[in-house]
Structure 1
C-alpha cells in the first residue's frame, strides 16, 4: 500500500503519544496520523503537575508538548475528550465512546497509568485528591493556596516521588504537611533506607511530619468534607485534604479486552521493538512492559524519560525500522533546593552496599548502589553532568573499586575514557 494511504492511530494524549506523532512526521511518513486522547486538553507533560505548575511558578501553556497550531501544521488529527473504548483487531478499527470507528494500519497504545486508589472508608468525601491530570493539579493548587486554620494539614498517603514533590510544593506555599508511609523511610521501595534517610532529613528540615510504619485506615469527614484521617496504628489526625500518592497502575484494559498479551507484573507485554503480540499494534510509555533484547527480562518504567524516548522508538518501529529499545531507566526530581537525577534500578534486595561520593550532609553527592562491585544504579543530588558516566557504569556492568568510586579526586569512568 502507498504510504500516503496508510493510517497510523495513536491512543494516548501524553508525552509518549505526542512524541510518537512528531517522529512519524520527522521520519517522512505522509499518511494519516490520528491521535486520540480522553482529555479535552492537547497532549501535555506530567512532571510539572507536582512541581512548578502546582506551585504557580510555571504557566499553563508551558506544560503542553506542542502549541495548538503545530498539530494542524503537521496534519496530526486530534480526537480529544473522546475515550477509545475498544480495539477490533480483525477489522483493524478503534471504537470511540460516541460509537465512531477509526480504522488503522498500525496502532500505538500510549495509554499511560492511573493513580492507585486508597480503598478505605471516606474516599468519597470532598477533599480527597489524586494527581495525574492537569485538572487534578488545578484542584490541588486551590487547596494549597487557600487559607486554613493552623493544625489542619494536607495529609499525603505515600512517601514516593509524587508524595514528596507535592509535600515540597505544599510547604513552599505555606501549607502544613503530614505524610503517612508504611515503610521505614521515604522512597524505600526504590532507593532503600540508606538514601531514604536523606529525604527524611530534608523534609523534616522544611517542617514536614512523617508517620512511618503505618497506613491510612479511614478518612473521616464533616458535612461531606474531609476533616481528618485514622491510621492503622490508631492515630486520629486532623486534615484539610488528603492526597493519595500510593503509586499508579498501567491503563491496560483496552489491550486486555482486545486479547493482547499482558506482562505478569502489569502492563502490555512488548518486545524490544515495542511490538505487542499483534504485529500491527505497538505500546510505549508507562503502559509498556518491555522485554530486554538480551535476556528477555521485562521492565515497565513510569518516568518522563521513558515516555520521551519510547514514543519515538515505537513510531520508528511502526515505520518498519529496526528498533531495539534498551535505555537505562532515568528519573529526575526537584524538592526545595535539591535537584537530583536517578539512573538505573536497584530496589532493596538487589544490592549489597551503597557507596557515597561527596558531602551527604550538604546534599551534594552521588550515591551508587552496588552488587558484587558492579553499579546497578546511581543518584546524583545537586551534582551535575555525571549522568552519562553513571549510565555507562550501569549499562556496561564494569567492575569498580568502591574506594575509588567514593573518592571525588578519582574521575568516574566514562564511555570516552573506558
Structure 2
C-alpha cells in the first residue's frame, strides 16, 4: 500500500499521524514539512520562546524517538510542489510520492505589506515560523524603537513581549479600535488599558501610508502625515489560508480548502484540517485558526479515514498571553447582539443564547462559560450580570 501522505508538519499534521497509529492504521504514513526543524508548537514562539523562557527543545511536539517507534516517515525541508490527483502522487524533492489517502495541513501564511510601500525593506518582520522569530530576535534590544502594525492578538502579544524586553513600543491599528474583528469593545477596552498602563503607545483609526527607509526600515509614515521612528517593524495584519497547492490541483476553495462536515475535500481521497481548511457550520462555512481546532479537526479526519463517519462539531477555545495577564476565550461570538460584563469577563449573547465568553485573568468564568456553551445552555443575562449570583450555580 502507498499509505497516507500528510502535507505540512505542524500541530494538525502531528495530531493526524498520531491518531491514525492509535486507531490501528498500519500502512505507511509520511509527513512532509517544508521547514528544516521537527514539528513544534507555534503559540510560544512570540512569547515564551522570544523571551528566552522556553528553549527550542521544549517547543518540539514529539521527541525524536516518536517517529521511529510509530513507523512514521518524517521528511523535513521537503516542500511539496504539486499534487497529481489522477496518478495519486505528490511531487516532493524531485520525486513522485504515491498516496492512497492525502491529508493537507498546510496552515496559513502571514499577510505582508506591498513592496510598493516598503513592505520588502529589511527589518520588517512577520510572526509565524521559528525562522521568523529567530530573524527578529537580535532586534529586541533594550531601548530599541518598535512599531507594531496591526491591533489583533498577534500584534498585541508582540507589543507586550517587546515591552517586557525593554523596548519602546508603538502599536498602530487602522480600524477604529484594536481587536475590531475578533472581540467586543469591552474586551478591547480592557486590553487597551493593560497596554497603556505598561507604557505601550496605541494609535487607532489611522492607517499606514508607507514604510520609510532605503534598504532597512527607519520609520512608518501614517495616513495622517505623522512619521514614527522605528528600528524595526512587526506586522500583525492577519493571515491567509495556504491554499495554493490545493488550488493548483483543482480542489474547491472557499476561504480555505473546502471540506465537507467530515473533513473531506472535493476529492474523496484528499482531506484537509487546521488553519487551511474551511468546513460547514450553522450560518455558513467557517475556518478556525487555533491549536484546539488543528488538533480536533485532524483527529476527526484520522477517525473518518478509518471509517468513523463523524461530522465535525468544533468546541472553539483560544487564549492570549499579554504582560502578566491571560485572556481565555470560549465559543464563537459571530452574530452577537449583546455583551454582559461581569468583572473582567465579557459574555456574548445573541438574543437569549450564550455564544462566547472572554475572561481576562478569570479562569473560573472561562471554565464555567465553556461548559455552558458546550452543553448548549444559556444563563439568564440578568442573573449573570448580578455580582451576587454564584457562577457555579448557573451550571
- Per the TM superposition, whether the score is higher than 0.5 is yes
Task: Give the aligned partner of residue 374 of structure 1.
Answer: 353
TM-superposed CA distance for 1:344, in Å, is 1.7
Counterpart selection for 2:303 from 316, 333, 337? 316
Task: Give the aligned partner of residue 233 of structure 2.
Answer: 242
Q: Report if the CA contact (8 A) 2:150-2:236 is conserved.
A: yes
Task: Give the aligned partner of residue 100 of structure 1.
Answer: 95
Give the total of aligned pairs. 394
- Could you report, residue by residue, the CA deviation over 1:19-40 in whole angstroms, capped at 9, with x for unpaired residues? 1111111111111000001111
**Is 1:110 aligned to 2:105, yes or no?**
yes
Task: Give the aligned partner of residue 32 of structure 1.
Answer: 28
Q: Report if the CA contact (8 A) 2:2-2:98 is conserved.
A: no
Task: Give the aligned partner of residue 361 of structure 1.
Answer: none
Q: 1:65 to 1:49 in 2, by over 3 A?
A: same
- Could you report, residue by residue, the CA deviation over 1:162-216 in whole angstroms, capped at 9, with x for unpaired residues? 0011111101100111111012222111113221111111100111111111122
Q: Report if the CA contact (8 A) 1:162-1:245 is conserved.
A: yes
Task: Give the aligned partner of residue 253 of structure 2.
Answer: 262
Mapped partners of 1:297, 1:326: distance in 2: 14
- Could you report, residue by residue, the CA deviation over 1:296-337 in whole angstroms, capped at 9, with x for unpaired residues? 721100111111211211111122222221113211111111
TM-score, length-normalised on structure 1?
0.90
Task: Give the aligned partner of residue 175 of structure 1.
Answer: 167
Unaligned runs of 5+ in 1: 359-364
Mapped partners of 1:22, 1:396: distance in 2: 28
Mapped partners of 1:386, 1:399: distance in 2: 14
Mapped partners of 1:190, 1:398: distance in 2: 23
Q: 1:386 to 1:194 in 2, by over 3 A?
A: closer
TM-superposed CA distance for 1:386, in Å, is 4.3
Q: 1:345 to 1:175 in 2, by over 3 A?
A: same
Q: 1:325 to 1:201 in 2, by over 3 A?
A: same
Q: Report if the CA contact (8 A) 1:393-1:413 is conserved.
A: no
- Could you report, residue by residue, the CA deviation over 1:88-111 in whole angstroms, capped at 9, with x for unpaired residues? 111110111x32111001110000
Q: Report if the CA contact (8 A) 2:159-2:200 is conserved.
A: yes
TM-score, length-normalised on structure 2?
0.95
Q: Which range moves more in the overlay, 117-126 or 19-28?
A: 117-126
Mapped partners of 1:411, 1:299: distance in 2: 34
- Could you report, residue by residue, the CA deviation over 1:240-259 in whole angstroms, capped at 9, with x for unpaired residues? 10111100000011111111
Q: Which range moves more in the overlay, 169-178 or 314-323?
A: 314-323
Unaligned runs of 5+ in 2: none
Mapped partners of 1:63, 1:156: distance in 2: 25
Q: Report if the CA contact (8 A) 1:184-1:193 is conserved.
A: no
- Could you report, residue by residue, the CA deviation over 1:32-61 in whole angstroms, capped at 9, with x for unpaired residues? 000001111111111001110111111111
**Is 1:307 aligned to 2:298, yes or no?**
no
Mapped partners of 2:326, 2:102: distance in 1: 37
- Could you report, residue by residue, the CA deviation over 1:105-144 in whole angstroms, capped at 9, with x for unpaired residues? 1110000000011125212211010111001111222111
Map of 1:19-418 to 2, 5 A cutoff?
Answer: 19-96=15-92, 98-119=93-114, 120-144=116-140, 146-148=141-143, 153-222=145-214, 224-263=215-254, 266-292=255-281, 295=282, 297-347=284-334, 350-358=335-343, 365-395=344-374, 397-412=376-391
Mapped partners of 2:13, 2:390: distance in 1: 39
Q: Report if the CA contact (8 A) 1:36-1:80 is conserved.
A: yes
Q: 1:385 to 1:147 in 2, by over 3 A?
A: closer
Q: Report if the CA contact (8 A) 1:53-1:60 is conserved.
A: yes
Q: Report if the CA contact (8 A) 2:126-2:236 is conserved.
A: yes
Mapped partners of 2:295, 2:222: distance in 1: 38
Q: 1:314 to 1:9 in 2, by over 3 A?
A: same
Alignment partner of 2:369: what SS? helix
Q: Report if the CA contact (8 A) 1:157-1:215 is conserved.
A: no
Q: Report if the CA contact (8 A) 1:35-1:77 is conserved.
A: yes
Mapped partners of 1:192, 1:231: distance in 2: 26
